[in-house]
Amino acid sequence: MCSASRLLLFAAGAVLSLATLQAADLRVCADPNNLPFSNRQQQGFDNQIAKLIAAELGKGVTYVWAPERGESFVRKTLLAKRCDVLMGIPSAYPKALASEPYYRSTYVFLWRRDRNLQVRSLNDPALHRLRIGVHVVSDDVSNLPPAQALANRGMFRNMVSYSIYGDLSKPNPPAALIDAVARGNVDLAIAWGPLAGFFAQREAAPMAMVPVSPQVDRPFLPFTFSISIGVRPTDKDLLKSINSALEHRRSEIRKILLSYGVPLLDADLRAGSRP
């Protein structure tokens, strides 16, 4: 074969390899049982947003499913190179390179409307007379912002803890906290807004939901968070592409979030905003 033919074949192969690389699916690691964020049936809002971002990049989506259980989830998925993207990480998360936020939300107070509660603040004296449901990561109830804030106020006996991980054999384990409010097992809950907003819409009893105040409790305990897409620290080109896709699809992302009942802090949805 002449050198010119070899050169043509090499060039054609290089173009084919580049096209194959560009067309490769966006590999997303996600929890298979974690609505409203994700599930194996791809019914979560992060599933919908991942599909939108991938389409903007000219790709499909391939999922690697793994239960999201603490810090090991990131280590065993993204950092182990089983996937290239994690949806729904805090923008300040130290173990991944974070995109611009695609939403910012807040913890909320949630109760049945027929209870006629008027709680607006963690400092409301009425909380001392109520049974308050909170999510916890472990048996240590002072490990998520609501439980920590109540513990700081000495309200240990008021708290009823529900595992944020729950029973994996059942669908939507974190929803148990919202169910507890609807059934009257607790007087109110303090829950992460996207989760509360989604499941409250599905309860038979009408629910009331208001943002937690203050947004930052003393000494420094935030109740609002910017949420981003995470990539490995070395994947800066991918991050640049994702940020561009987020900007182009921002209005569509907002519509998806609102359709799932996510309470949005609109002032922080502009490109470039940070906590």
Outline which parts of the chain fall under CATH 3.40.190.10. Answer: 23-103+225-268, 105-222
Residue 17's pLDDT is 39
Residue 46's pLDDT is 98
Closest CA to 192 of 200, 203, 182, 202: 200
Q: At residue 19, does pLDDT exceed 80?
A: no
Binned at pLDDT 50, 70 and 90, residue 166 comes out as: confident
110: which strand partners? 189, 209
Pairing of strands 188-192, 159-163: unpaired
% residues pLDDT > 90 (the chain): 79
Evaluate whether 53 touches 28 at the Cβ level (below 8 Å): no
What homologous superfamily does CATH list for 105-222?
Answer: Periplasmic binding protein-like II (3.40.190.10)
Q: At residue 272, does pLDDT exceed 60?
A: no
d(CA 248, CA 274): 18
Q: In sequence order, what are the residues at sequence separation of 6 or more whose Cβ sits closer than 8 angstroms to the Cβ of residue 69?
A: 165
What CATH number does the domain located at 23-103+225-268 have?
Answer: 3.40.190.10
